[in-house]
Chain A
């Protein structure tokens, strides 16, 4: 297989946006092309768009063609939409990777976009119910928060994890987001603010949850030869893994704090990249809820099972610790426009590994990881590496 690299990235402002679905595509596309002056839209051979809910929120399907036309891209090798709920963006990057590695394309844009705050707030949440089983779960009003609350309840009972430790994920990620101008939230948060925020689903409080957010992000992915023509600092895709345990809650491991599929996805990605958890300098993990970040530390091997609470409390996942987790602000701080999230994570790792992350820069970051879940039993992991590692 051929080597594949990310050569450019751009992110729209995330938030409750006064912008249409197409406005968001334009914004992320412009940001990506502006940051990659060697590439014009006509040079791009393929487009993959990660997007989950446009049929409901924008009354639009046929997304890849619509986005290609909006950006002036005329695909000659690949045009597709990926929908894998909250992992849609990263699943799109994997498709671009596979096409390029196989020699079927040389330069592909992966764009993630979601306009969630439409048509109304409670309908936006109703729409999110399409991500769980409509007949056996969503019909009861189930969306993501109660699912992850079950994991949090179990982690507390099994390992003595505290509400304060869950809250510290919220504090860290809101604080990181305050240094990211594209993040939904800009003000940071104190431990008291997180612990006093509104209860969503016991024991998860508002500031331990990602919000309903609009946003888009884009990356340009290229073959080795093309990448070296376009930039002197490509960021290589070195490993990838994906694994599923199940879709419905009752198909998952009986211990909801144990996510074997994440351990398997991580192991596959590490093996392919030839690295271990200890080599990862910066990680963008899927903190849709604080408990998801804690379990990700464990299943990805940053700490042992059950030790994630103390790991975050002692700053070991922050600047100065073993691995900086979610310097972008995570889903809790940036918001979670489903299809855009994985692409925005890749854009952050791209900036970090090129030393271009400004106030958020992780010193000398050489190996980066991104992780998405699309439910507690479904995980995808990517490993990125700098030129010299």
Chain B
């Protein structure tokens, strides 16, 4: 038997796999959403199916504005995981009062700056093992 790699680095996003599937459905339509707890009305990032503040597992989906600013970033040039290319801009984006971790695509790494406006740019990654499209919430310069 030849050596094969048995690692899928991406989340399983469909309704068969996660109660957060609505996040990915909206992302595929270009919308960045998150959960708001029905119990205490707390807005979460990332979306969550259980509120650690009030203990409720009931939540509503809320679209975020999709536009924010860079709070912190670094450019990784080497030592990236198998299947991921550098240079790669990792960023913390401030958006509607939340901090969101992501990558910045379509940007010249040497020109990225703290405070720079960015907007959500859904990134299609490898399909899941059942052939469903998968998306990640990446950002690009606004």
Contact B82 A120 (CB under 8 A): yes
Question: How far apart are B25's CB and chain A's nearest CB, in angstroms?
Answer: 15
Question: How far apart are B138's CB and chain A's nearest CB, in angstroms?
Answer: 8
Query: How many residues on the B side are at the interface (Cβ–Cβ under 8 A)?
Result: 34
Residues of A within 8 A of B9 (CB): 126, 129, 134, 138-139, 141
Residues of B within 8 A of A128 (CB): 81
Kindly identify which residue among A123, A198, A209, A254 contacts B99, using a CB–CB cutoff of 8 Å. A254
Contact B74 A140 (CB under 8 A): no
Contact B81 A141 (CB under 8 A): yes
Contact B72 A129 (CB under 8 A): no
Contact B5 A123 (CB under 8 A): yes
| Given A129-B9, A134-B11, A201-B77; A119-B101 close (CB under 8 Å) | no
A145 interface residue (CB < 8 Å to B):
yes
Tell me the complex Cα distance, A145–B99, Å.
Answer: 19
Render A186-226 as a binary contact track against B, CB cut-off 8 A, 1 for contact: 00000000000011111000100100000000000000000
Tell me the complex Cα distance, A161–B90, Å.
Answer: 22
Tell me the complex Cα distance, A146–B112, Å.
Answer: 15
Residues of A within 8 A of B125 (CB): 139
Q: Would you list 5 pairs from A and B whose C-beta atoms are within 8 A, ordered by A residue?
A: A120-B82, A140-B136, A149-B74, A198-B77, A254-B99
Residues of B whose CB lies within 8 Å of any CB of A are: 3, 5, 7, 9-11, 45-46, 71-84, 88, 90, 92, 98-103, 125, 136, 138
User: Sorted from nearest, which 5 A-B pairs have the closest CB atoms?
Assistant: A141-B84, A149-B74, A122-B82, A126-B81, A201-B76
8 new A-B contacts at CB < 8 Å, known A123-B82, A140-B102, A141-B80? A122-B80, A126-B7, A134-B9, A138-B81, A142-B90, A199-B77, A200-B79, A201-B75
